[in-house]
Amino acid sequence: MRVGFLASAANEATPRIIGAFSERRPGRRVEMRQSSWWDPTAGLAAGEVDAALLRVPFPAQESWGDRSPADRT
């Protein structure tokens, strides 16, 4: 899985998130890709990544809808 991130969004929770993913999907690889500040979607808009760690709000955020896993519980 390719995960895009902005430096400020990849905080201390990132290792826990990757660890939890690895436990649930053994054998799957997580590839972290740091994005430039000019792309606030960290590669999601261009289809370069499968998921992203983002800083919100960002321009045109509403067009993406709510995709936060924390809100799906």
3-class DSSP assignment, residue 3? strand
In a domain, 67, yes or no: no
Structural domain including 26 reads 2-61
pLDDT digits (tens, 9 = 90+) for 5-40: 887 766 777 888 888 888 999 999 889 898 888 888
**How do 31-34 and 51-53 pair as beta strands?**
unpaired
In a domain, 70, yes or no: no
The predicted model scores a pTM of 0.70
In a domain, 37, yes or no: yes
In a domain, 57, yes or no: yes
DSSP secondary structure string for all residues of 23-55? HHSTT---EEEE--TT-TTTTTTTT--SEEE--
- Work out how many domains the chain is built from and give that number: 1
In a domain, 22, yes or no: yes
Question: At 65, is the pLDDT very low, low, confident or very high (cuts 50, 70, 90)?
Answer: low
- Give the sign of the dihedral formed by CA 69, CA 31, CA 13, CA 56: negative
